[in-house]
């Protein structure tokens, strides 16, 4: 019994003496927890980069961790918006973190003034639409608006819809939805336009979209539902006198509607066209582009009086500015009346006519011609008349199509070369298939690694074989394009022969210092944007060899492999 009490006493003494140690261990645990929490965002960010970003992501950064009585953690929420996973293009969520907002704004303003090539646009799309935080000095709101505005300005319908699907809530969402709605109204496809209503949720308070939603209910014969929403819209003072008049008429509430045509927006104009009997509208230079598109789609552009020279001239200018379907002009030309003698002597009589009538006369004469000699003669004469009036855009595609219909081989020898130069060809067709030439490094089958995904071991063997063969040719000149390929091979882990002095050869090509500085500052996205400016209107294969080298060199230094491969695949291969 005494031994038992003695043991209890010893136990209590040990507990009291050791309790500070337990307490110290507890503090250490919290310290470790604090350190672990601080590292969490980095791990989370890495996980985000490794997985596809299929929706708007909220990245929680632990800017401050305060462990007080309740061990509370204060967090700042920051959202990222986009379409593409940044890792797909060798970017990350912080791709803009070292770039000033003003630098991004200035670069985009410069790019707006350039008609970018297909490759430049594709690279720019990858840069802008990858999920990322905004640059320094730019809010989330401005950054997402910048992305949405670019999509709309470049008329990227499918990408706008993809952006809406992947980013549930963002500023300017109503603008993006209205763009989709108006695109479908303009194309005369109301059914598809109404399907875009799914993107409108309770968070969007937009009168225009609510009005369209109500019209869609009417269109789909759900009038009671339309009436309920209309009453609610009116209670909120979001409707208008014009809209009420049109919807009441469509709902059957009133038997008459105003014949006034409202051009304030596309929805109002559309409602005018479907509610006014014998709708007749004459567009002008002030008519909005979206209304022109709807007029084209609904076949509402008509010239009641083909002898109205002024009106015809206005329509020709509209077609030249891509507002009116160019085919409409040639349809109108067929309606212009000419006497038989005028048609017979067209080559002489056209010179005494008004410019529009002259073009109409020669076009009709072309239609009446039977021989290919005569047809091409009138087509070239008509081209001169369009050039004289600065309306080449109306005619160039038409001329190309007609030459292809006739067939260059069916034309007189004297016309064939000129006719061939006027055929508008698709750029992809011009590139042709790759033809490997192992006598030139940058055209050799080493390129199969970049073009066809050839096995790496096989490519290394080709490198050894081709470089050895070329080194024996004392007259061979190592070009800037060869160096662009060599630099990329080294960056990808390949081994070049020791007698190929890449460092010595590359010294004569100077890479712009301002761009090298972007690498030093770890400004990946901004460097890629500067490269878009450099490529600009050209495709990479159209750049001079020195530019191709320093562009690929910069991309290699920043490990922007995906963009680099795009440049290589265009710039280096020999194509047939």
**Is 322 within a domain?**
yes
**Is 47 within a domain?**
yes
Residue 520 pLDDT > 60, yes or no? yes
Tokens of 364: 């009709």
Give yes or no: residues 183 and 267 share one domain.
yes
Give yes or no: residues 460 and 539 share one domain.
yes
Query: In the predicted model, what is the mean pLDDT of the chain?
Result: 85
Mean per-residue pLDDT, 226-243: 94
The residue ranking higher by pLDDT, 27 or 522, is 522
Give yes or no: residues 257 and 318 share one domain.
no
Q: Dump the DSSP string for 551-571.
A: HHHHHHHTT-HHHHHHHHHHH
**Is 94 within a domain?**
no
Mean per-residue pLDDT, 273-279: 93
**Is 148 within a domain?**
no
Residue 22 pLDDT > 90, yes or no? no
Tokens of 60: 């929680």
User: Tokens 């000095």 belong to which residue?
Assistant: 137
The residue ranking higher by pLDDT, 305 or 328, is 328
| pLDDT class of 42 with cuts at 50, 70, 90 | very low
Element (H, E) at 74: strand 74-80
Give yes or no: residues 263 and 316 share one domain.
no
| pLDDT class of 425 with cuts at 50, 70, 90 | low
Residue 74 pLDDT > 60, yes or no? no
Q: Where among 389, 424, 459 does a domain terminate?
A: 424
Residues 6 or more apart whose CB falls under 8 angstroms from that of 500 comprise: 467, 471, 486
Q: Where among 300, 332, 355 does a domain terminate?
A: 300
pTM of the model as a whole:
0.73
Tokens of 54: 């299929």
Contact by Cβ (8 Å): 193, 299: no
Contact by Cβ (8 Å): 85, 53: yes
- The percentage of the chain sitting over the pLDDT mark of 90, rounded to a whole number, equals 68
**Is 56 within a domain?**
yes
Mean per-residue pLDDT, 75-90: 85
Domain around 59: 2-80
What's the angle, vertex CA 151, arms to CA 147 and CA 156, rounded to 5?
A: 155
Give yes or no: residues 241 and 314 share one domain.
no
The tally of CA atoms less than 13 A away on the side-chain side of residue 203 is 10
Contact by Cβ (8 Å): 85, 48: no
- The percentage of the chain sitting over the pLDDT mark of 70, rounded to a whole number, equals 84
119-158 b/e (C-beta count within 10 Å ≥ 16 → b): bbbebbbbbbbbbbbbbeebebeebbbbbbebbbeeebee
**Is 252 within a domain?**
yes
Q: Where among 280, 300, 320 does a domain terminate?
A: 300
Radius of gyration of the chain from its Cα atoms, rounded to whole angstroms? 34
Give yes or no: residues 522 and 564 share one domain.
yes
Give yes or no: residues 496 and 397 share one domain.
no
Angle formed by the axes of helices 524-535 and 118-129, nearest 10°: 160
Q: Give the tens place of pLDDT for each residue, 89-142.
A: 999 999 999 999 999 999 999 999 999 999 999 999 999 999 999 999 999 999
Element (H, E) at 274: helix 266-275
| pLDDT class of 28 with cuts at 50, 70, 90 | very low
The residue ranking higher by pLDDT, 12 or 527, is 527
pLDDT on residue 463: 95
What's the angle, vertex CA 537, arms to CA 122 and CA 156, rounded to 5?
A: 35
**Residues, the chain:** 576
pLDDT on residue 58: 42
Please count the other Cβ atoms lying within 10 Å of the Cβ belonging to residue 98. Answer: 15
**Is 245 within a domain?**
yes
Contact by Cβ (8 Å): 464, 497: yes
Own/partner pairs for 433-437, CB < 8 Å, 24+ apart?
433/575, 433/576, 434/573, 434/574, 434/575, 435/573, 435/574, 435/575, 435/576, 436/573, 436/574, 437/574
Q: Cα separation of 132 and 558, whole Å?
A: 17
Mean per-residue pLDDT, 533-537: 96
Residue 62 pLDDT > 60, yes or no? no
Give yes or no: residues 195 and 263 share one domain.
yes
**Is 166 within a domain?**
no
Give yes or no: residues 296 and 308 share one domain.
no
Mean per-residue pLDDT, 385-390: 94
Q: Give the tens place of pLDDT for each residue, 439-450.
A: 999 999 999 999
Mean per-residue pLDDT, 228-249: 94
Give yes or no: residues 27 and 16 share one domain.
yes
pLDDT on residue 3: 42
Identify which of 209, 120, 152, 180 has the alpha carbon closest to the alpha carbon of residue 535: 120
Residue 375 pLDDT > 50, yes or no? yes
Give yes or no: residues 410 and 369 share one domain.
yes
pLDDT on residue 66: 37
The residue ranking higher by pLDDT, 265 or 31, is 265
Q: Taking the mean position of all CA atoms in its chain, how far away is CA 170?
A: 19
Give yes or no: residues 327 and 275 share one domain.
no
| pLDDT class of 285 with cuts at 50, 70, 90 | confident
The tally of CA atoms less than 13 A away on the side-chain side of residue 281 is 25
Q: Cα separation of 208 and 179, whole Å?
A: 11
pLDDT on residue 426: 52
User: Tokens 């303003």 belong to which residue?
Assistant: 109
Tokens of 304: 């009641």
Distances in whole angstroms, Cα of residue 453 to Cα of each of 445, 457, 466, 490, 561: 11, 12, 18, 17, 14
Q: Cα separation of 266 and 289, whole Å?
A: 10
Identify which of 558, 565, 567 has the alpha carbon closest to the alpha carbon of residue 91: 558
If one counts the domains in the chain, the total is 4
């Amino acid at each position: 019994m005494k031994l038992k009490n003695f043991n209890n006493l010893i136990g209590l003494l040990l507990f009291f003496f050791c309790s500070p140690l337990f307490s110290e261990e507890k503090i250490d645990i919290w310290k470790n927890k604090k350190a672990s929490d601080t590292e969490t965002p980095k791990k989370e960010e890495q996980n985000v980069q490794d997985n596809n970003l299929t929706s708007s992501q909220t990245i929680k950064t632990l800017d401050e961790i305060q462990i007080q009585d309740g061990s509370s953690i204060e967090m700042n929420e920051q959202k990222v918006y986009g379409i593409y996973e940044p890792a797909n293009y060798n970017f990350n969520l912080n791709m803009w973190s070292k770039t000033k907002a003003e630098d991004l704004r200035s670069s985009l303003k410069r790019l707006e003034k350039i008609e970018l090539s297909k490759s430049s646009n594709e690279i720019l799309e990858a840069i802008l639409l990858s999920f990322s935080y905004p640059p320094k000095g730019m809010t989330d709101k401005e950054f997402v608006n910048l992305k949405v505005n670019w999509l709309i300005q470049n008329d990227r319908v499918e990408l706008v819809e993809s952006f809406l699907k992947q980013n549930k809530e963002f500023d300017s969402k109503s603008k993006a939805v209205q763009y989709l709605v108006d695109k479908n109204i303009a194309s005369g496809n109301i059914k598809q336009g109404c399907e875009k209503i799914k993107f409108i949720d309770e968070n969007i308070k937009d009168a225009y979209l609510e009005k369209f939603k109500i019209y869609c209910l009417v269109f789909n014969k759900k009038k009671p539902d339309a009436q309920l929403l209309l009453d609610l819209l009116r209670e909120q003072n979001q409707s208008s006198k014009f809209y009420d008049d049109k919807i009441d008429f469509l709902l059957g509430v009133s038997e008459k509607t105003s014949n006034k045509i409202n051009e304030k927006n596309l929805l109002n104009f559309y409602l005018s066209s479907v509610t006014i009997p014998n709708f007749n509208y004459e567009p002008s230079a002030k008519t909005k582009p979206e209304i022109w598109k709807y007029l084209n789609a609904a076949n509402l552009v008509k010239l009641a009086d083909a002898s109205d020279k002024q009106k015809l001239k206005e329509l020709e200018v509209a077609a030249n500015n891509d507002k009116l379907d160019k085919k409409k002009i040639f349809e109108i030309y067929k309606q212009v009346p000419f006497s038989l003698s005028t048609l017979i002597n067209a080559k002489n009589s056209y010179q005494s006519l008004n410019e529009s009538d002259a073009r109409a006369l020669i076009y009709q004469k072309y239609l009446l011609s039977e021989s290919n000699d005569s047809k091409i003669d009138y087509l070239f004469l008509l081209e001169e008349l369009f050039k004289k009036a600065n309306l080449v855009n109306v005619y160039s595609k038409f001329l190309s199509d007609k030459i292809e219909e006739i067939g260059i081989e069916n034309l007189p020898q004297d016309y064939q070369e000129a006719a061939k130069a006027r055929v508008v060809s698709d750029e992809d067709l011009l590139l042709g298939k790759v033809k490997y030439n192992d006598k030139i490094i940058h055209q050799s089958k080493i390129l199969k690694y970049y073009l066809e995904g050839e096995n790496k071991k096989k490519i290394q063997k080709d490198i050894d074989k081709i470089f050895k063969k070329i080194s024996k040719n004392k007259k061979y000149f190592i070009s800037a394009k060869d160096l662009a390929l060599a630099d990329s091979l080294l960056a990808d882990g390949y081994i070049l022969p020791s007698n190929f002095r890449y460092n010595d050869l590359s010294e004569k090509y100077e890479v712009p210092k301002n761009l090298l500085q972007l690498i030093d500052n770890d400004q990946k996205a901004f460097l890629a944007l500067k490269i878009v400016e450099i490529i600009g209107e050209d495709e990479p294969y159209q750049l001079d060899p020195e530019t191709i080298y320093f562009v690929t060199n910069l991309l290699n230094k920043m490990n922007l492999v995906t963009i680099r491969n795009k440049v290589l695949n265009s710039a280096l291969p020999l194509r047939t």
